[in-house]
A and B are shown apart, each in its own frame.
Chain A
Amino acid sequence: MIDYIMSCLSLLNRVSEIESSKDIIGRLHCQSSGVICPLHGVMLLNELFEDTATLIVGAPECVYYPQVGTLIRLDNPTLSGIYTYVMDENDVVFGSADGLKIAAQAVLEDPEIAALFLVSSCVFELIGDDLRAISADIANALGKPVFPVHTSNYDHHCPDYFKAIERMLEAIAPVLSKQETIPHSVNLLGRIFHGNAKGSLRQSELGAMLEKNGVTINMEFPSRVRLEHIKQLTAAELNIVTDRVGIRLAKIMQEKYGIPYVLFESTFSHQTIEETYLSIGRFLRVAWQDEVSRLSAHTKERISEVSCIVEGETIIAGCLPPDPFQSVAFLSKLKMKPLVVASACLSRGSEEAIANLLKAGEDPYVIHACEREPMEEALKTLRPRFYVGHAPHEKVSALGIRHIGCFMAEPEHLGFRSIDNFLLRLESAAMQTPAEKGCD
Chain B
Amino acid sequence: MCCFVFISIGKNDGSGSGEGVLLKRIAVYGKGGIGKSVTVSNMSVALAQQGLKVMQIGCDPKADSTINITGGDRISTVLRTMREKHDRVEIEDIIIKGDFGVYCVEAGGPPPGVGCAGRGIITAFEKLKELHVYEKIKPDIVFYDVLGDVVCGGFAMPIRKGYADDVYVVTSGEMMSLYAANNIISAVRSNIERGYAQFRGLILNKKNVENEEDIVRKAAEEMNAEVLHVIPRDSIVQEAERQHKTVVAAFPDSKQALIYKELSRKVFGD
Contacts and interface: CB of A to CB of B under 8 A. Distances in A.
A91 B79 CA distance: 11
Nearest to B117: A93
A97 interface: yes
B116 A92 contact: yes
A182 interface: no
A29 B2 CA distance: 56
A97 B114 contact: yes
A127 interface: yes
Contacts of B83: 90, 93-94
B123 A129 contact: no
Nearest to A126: B116
Interface in B101-145: 109-111, 113-117, 119-120, 123
Given A89-B82, A90-B83, A95 B123 contact: no
Contacts of A127: 115-116, 119
A128 interface: yes
Interface size grouping (class) on chain B: 10 to 19
A132 to B, nearest CB: 13
Given A128-B116, A129-B115, A95 B82 contact: no
A89 B114 contact: no
B131 to A, nearest CB: 15
Contacts of A93: 79, 83, 109-110, 115-117, 119-120, 123
A92 B82 contact: no
Interface in A106-152: 126-130
A127 B79 CA distance: 16
A89 B115 contact: no
Nearest to B110: A94
A94 B115 contact: yes
Contacts of A97: 114
A92 B114 contact: no
Contacts of B114: 94-95, 97, 129-130
Indicate the member of B109, B110, B114, B117 with the most A CB atoms within 10 Å.
Answer: B114
B111 to A, nearest CB: 8
Contacts of B82: 89-90
Interface in B178-218: none
A281 to B, nearest CB: 53
A95 B110 CA distance: 8
B248 to A, nearest CB: 33
B116 A89 contact: no
Interface string A51-73: 00000000000000000000000
22 contacts: A89-B123, A90-B82, A90-B83, A91-B115, A92-B123, A93-B79, A93-B83, A93-B110, A93-B115, A93-B116, A93-B119, A93-B123, A94-B79, A94-B110, A94-B111, A94-B115, A94-B120, A97-B114, A127-B116, A127-B119, A130-B113, A130-B114
Interface of B: 79, 82-83, 109-111, 113-117, 119-120, 123
Nearest 6 CB-CB pairs, A to B? Answer: A95-B115, A127-B116, A95-B114, A93-B120, A94-B115, A94-B110
Given A90-B82, A94-B120, 4 more contacts: A89-B123, A91-B115, A93-B119, A94-B79
